[in-house]
Amino acid sequence: MKIRNIIHFFLIMIGLILFCRCKLTNVFITVLISVAYKVEENLLLIVCLILFVVLCLHFRLILVKKSCDVPGPFAWPLVGHYWQLQRQPFEMARQLAQSYGPVLRLQFGSEAVVVLNNRDIIRRAFASRTFSDRPNWMSMKLQNETDGRFAFRPYGCHWRYLRKSTVDALTLLRNKSADHLQAYCQQALRQLFSNLDQLNGRPVDPAELLSRFFLHAVGKIAFGEQGVDVQDPDVEQIFFQSPPQIQQLSRIGNFVDCFPRLCWLYRNTIKLAKQVNRQFDQFVSAKVDQNEKNAHHLSNTQSISSLADALLLLTKQQQQSDQSQQHPAKYAIVDALGAGLATSTSTALWAVLMLAKLPDVQQKLKQELDLLNLTTDHDDDDHEPLLTMEHRPRLIYAEAFLNEVLRFGSVLPFAIPHATVSNATLDCHHIAQGVPVLGNLWAVHHDQTLFPDPMTFNPDRFIRPTDGTLNRQLLANVIPFSTGTRRCPGEFLARQNLFLLIINLTKRFQIQQPFSHFHRHNYDVTKFQFNFTRKPMPFQVRFIPWK
């Protein structure tokens, strides 16, 4: 009887605590108390356990609201919106924003995450230091364990130093070695075209071919003429044989990020990811060390020919080795070879797919290229001349096509996640320190007020019908490389390589869709794969030289 009285008192106290907070909960408590008189003590203990769980969940909800008073849809206790996040989280957030406003709260498990779905709000927030941190997620920690990247690193003086070094090096490379950058891309293009010629028009999945092209081009940009040997077995293993289960850890809304206390369930995958990251870091470190041994020629800015050269020269000039235990070149180059390769390859896949699916668009692009009236004379190496960046101002439709690919593909729909450095207020909403913040670039790129009929691929939207010039104001709304303090510093390199690839590939090859693949299997361009990047489902095309 004493036990029953104690439990009865415990139930009443819970009811009093929750009184006036939730009428339904109070009714629930009252019903359970009335039942408690008529049950055995064992069942009464079970009832107490249930009420204790309810109490914990209730106060957990209160804590979530205190950390973030942003509106959002109903979320299940503990799991939040986990199941919805496994589908198309960026499209789900875009649609929810129509009901809850452009600043939206989602639950990643029990953690509140703020999603920004408006262009102006994203720009205003990400331009502020307050929103420049990274979430304390396992997916972020894995990228920083080997000290190989700064793009995923938390905000602080070390990150500021690394980013400044990278931006300065890229600016130096762009101003002093523009010819080298273009020549590296042209070498990769010739190798790609040689591989395509050997196919003799047979259907092929272009994914690996494009990955090797970008690895070839970016490898030379990073390390100079030595580049990266794409035939090397170690390179093959690191870049082309990554275990598929690792890719799941980089997806927004993955299990480990939503339920960090259950990460032991994925301990083997996490261990494997750490091993792959170490191999990647060791590979880049060896390349940087090799560059450093041959850096005796770096006496001035005129002698640089790669990103590694630029970073080595800046380090010599600044003498800031006390700010980093390792050479800063390792951080920048790992980012270029890691995230940079993945995003560029995914974007190129969308470009090739749309050229194959929309022959009218391909023909219009080819006609613009033909108007350049290039000489048919071969160069000194007996190669057909390639289009260069000097032709870019005259290629209006090609520029529009590239930006439509970047908009339509949106390969990083949430960019790389941000977090608040300190307590913040955004559009009258309180957001506590450390709360993850996602910029929904997909929502910006599919905003009907900016891009009418956004689900239709239409490069002409960027061309003014009155005079045929580019609509620069509309182009400014295409932000696939994010914006603000965490904007990708290598955007100009990525855009240049993509532009040269698209115009030269279209100039040389007609890209056709195999009938059996696209029609018999009813290939749908709205379906995609989504891990670190959003890319098309596997497809095949034929590359046939123009007659």
Residues near 419 by Cβ (< 8 Å), separated by ≥ 6? 131, 133, 134, 135, 136, 434, 435, 436, 437
- For residue 530, which of 405, 403, 346 has the smallest C-alpha distance? 346
DSSP class of residue 289 equals H
> Letter for the amino acid at 387?
L
CA 84/CA 91 separation, integer angstroms: 11
- For residue 192, which of 510, 512, 505, 495 has the smallest C-alpha distance? 505
258 is in an annotated binding site: no
> Which residues in 79-119 belong to E strands, given as ranges?
103-108, 111-116
Whether 417 contacts 438, CB under 8 Å: yes
Query: What are the b/e assignments for 206-244, b being 16+ CB within 10 Å?
Result: bbebbbbbbbbbbbbbbbbeebbebeeeebeebbeeeee
Tokens representing 452?
């009418």
Bridge partners (DSSP) listed for residue 103: 116
CA 190/CA 184 separation, integer angstroms: 10
CA 192/CA 208 separation, integer angstroms: 11
Angle between helices 359-370 and 396-409 in degrees, nearest 10: 150
Whether 236 contacts 213, CB under 8 Å: no
Strands 111-116 and 436-439: parallel
CA 205/CA 212 separation, integer angstroms: 13
Tally Cβ neighbours within 10 Å of residue 52. 12
Q: Which residues are annotated as a binding site?
A: 488
Which residues participate in the annotated binding site for heme? Answer: 488
